């Protein structure tokens, strides 16, 4: 396919990208504030999930690094499988994150002094970029599946470091707050 055809095919996905880029963060924000117990649903708090989803973030970071290595070494099929795995891992993270927050109270950071400011800087940038990354991942993925590899490479240069930052800072946030889990 030529770039004009590829761009035309991409446009068919744009509405889905916009919808998902808005709906995912809104649903995560709303559901993570809903407590199932408030609706009379008796459920055991899923307090075991934070180390699991922090591990998923770490694995996602490794998978992203491996995918970069694969494409730089012209292993396109491996790159594609790794990137699909990174997307699946990220979806799994979101499901567990929401499940934890729907069943458990959030932990509050108890550090003081400079570490408190460092923690909140990392947390805020992590949260903001975890929202911003959604359309970037979707656009990057669509450009790949529509064989628009030149445009895919251009946006992947932005998407990759941002997604890697979100994955790594997710682990750092967990490590920093884990002593304060009840």
Q: What are 68-121's pLDDT values in tens digits?
A: 999 999 999 999 999 999 999 999 999 999 999 999 988 899 999 999 999 999
Query: Above 70 in pLDDT, residue 4?
Result: no
Q: pLDDT value at position 155?
A: 97
Q: pLDDT value at position 55?
A: 97
Q: Rounded CA gap, 6 and 182, in Å? A: 51
Q: What are 128-171's pLDDT values in tens digits?
A: 999 999 999 999 999 999 999 999 999 999 999 999 999 999 99
Query: Above 90 in pLDDT, residue 126?
Result: yes
Secondary-structure class of domain 3-180 per CATH: mainly alpha
Q: How far is CA 22 from CA 26, 50, 133, in A?
A: 6, 25, 12
Query: pLDDT class for 2, splitting at 50, 70, 90?
Result: low
Containing 108, the helix (H) or strand (E) segment is none
Ordered by start, the domain boundaries in the chain are 3-180
Q: How far is CA 133 from CA 1, 34, 78, 139, in A?
A: 27, 24, 22, 10
> Mean per-residue pLDDT for 38-62?
94
| Full-model pTM | 0.91
Spell out the residues 6+ positions from residue 137 whose beta carbon is closer than 8 angstroms to its own: 87, 90, 159, 163
């Amino acid at each position: 396919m030529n770039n004009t055809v590829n761009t035309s095919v991409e446009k068919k996905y744009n509405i889905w990208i916009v919808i998902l880029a808005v709906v995912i963060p809104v649903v995560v924000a709303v559901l993570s504030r809903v407590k199932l117990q408030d609706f009379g649903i008796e459920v055991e708090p899923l307090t075991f999930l934070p180390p699991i989803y922090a591990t998923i973030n770490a694995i996602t970071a490794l998978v992203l690094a491996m995918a970069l290595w694969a494409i730089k070494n012209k292993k396109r099929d491996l790159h594609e499988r790794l990137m699909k795995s990174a997307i699946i891992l990220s979806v799994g993270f979101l499901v567990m994150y929401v499940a934890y927050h729907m069943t458990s109270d959030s932990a509050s950071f108890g550090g003081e002094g400079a570490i408190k400011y460092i923690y909140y800087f990392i947390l805020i940038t992590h949260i903001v970029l975890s929202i911003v990354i959604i359309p970037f991942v979707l656009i990057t993925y669509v450009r790949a599946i529509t064989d628009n590899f030149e445009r895919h490479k251009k946006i992947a240069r932005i998407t990759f470091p941002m997604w890697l930052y979100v994955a790594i800072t997710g682990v750092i946030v967990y490590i920093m707050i884990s002593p304060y889990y009840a």
